[in-house]
Amino acid sequence: EPEVTQTPSHQVTQMGQEVILRCVPISNHLYFYWYRQILGQKVEFLVSFYNNEISEKSEIFDDQFSVERPDGSNFTLKIRSTKLEDSAMYFCASRGRNQPQHFGDGTRLSIL
Amino acid sequence: QKEVEQDPGPLSVPEGAIVSLNCTYSNSAFQYFMWYRQYSRKGPELLMYTYSSGNKEDGRFTAQVDKSSKYISLFIRDSQPSDSATYLCAMRRSQGGSEKLVFGKGTKLTVNP
pLDDT tens-digit readout, B42-87: 999 999 999 888 899 999 999 999 999 999 999 999 999 999 999 9
Return the pLDDT at A2. 76
Q: For residue A15, give how far its alpha carbon lies from the nearest alpha carbon of chain B (Å).
A: 23
Q: Residue B99 has what pLDDT?
A: 84
Please report the pLDDT score of residue B97 as a whole number: 66
The reply to whether residue B98 touches residue A102, judged by beta carbons under 8 angstroms, is no
Residue B16 pLDDT more than 70? yes
Subunit contact A35:B104, Cβ cutoff 8 A: no
* pLDDT score of B84: 97
Number of domains within chain B? 1
CB B40 within 8 A of CB B54: no
Task: Report the pLDDT value the prediction gives residue B96, as an integer from 0 to 100.
Answer: 66
Find how far residue B49's CA is from the centre of its chain. 10
Nearest residue in B to A43, CA atom: B103
- What are the chain B neighbours of A42 within 8 Å (beta carbons)? 103-106
pLDDT at B8: 84
The answer for A 39-58 residues in CB contact with B (under 8 A) is 41-45, 48, 55-56, 58
CATH number at residue B40: 2.60.40.10
Q: pLDDT tens, position by position, for chain A (112 residues)?
A: 779 999 999 999 999 999 999 999 999 899 999 999 999 899 999 999 998 999 999 999 999 999 999 887 899 999 999 999 999 999 999 999 889 999 999 999 999 9
In B, which residues are within 8 Å of A6 by CB distance? 43
Strand partners, B35: B48, B89
pLDDT of residue B86: 97
Judged by CB atoms closer than 8 Å, whether chains meet at B36 and A103 is answered as: yes
The predicted pLDDT at position A46 comes to: 97
**Predicted pLDDT of residue A13:** 96
Kindly state the average pLDDT of the residues B19-35.
Answer: 94
Contacts 24+ apart (CB under 8 A), A38-45: A38/A87, A38/A88, A39/A87, A39/A88, A39/A89, A41/B105, A42/B103, A42/B104, A42/B105, A42/B106, A43/A91, A43/B44, A43/B88, A43/B90, A43/B101, A43/B103, A44/B103, A45/B100, A45/B101, A45/B102
Q: Which amino acid is at B59?
A: G
Residue B28 to residue A79: CA distance in whole angstroms: 34
A5-111 belongs to which homologous superfamily? Immunoglobulins (2.60.40.10)
**B99 vs A31, A91, A105: nearest CB:** A31
Nearest chain A CA: its distance from B17 CA (Å): 27
Euclidean distance between CA atoms B34 and A28, whole angstroms: 22
User: What is the extent of the structural domain holding B44?
Assistant: 4-112
| Nearest CA-CA distance, residue A35 and chain B, Å | 9
Nearest Cα to A36, choosing from A71, A72, A82, A73? Answer: A82
Judged by a CB distance cut-off of 8 A, whether residue A104 touches chain B is yes
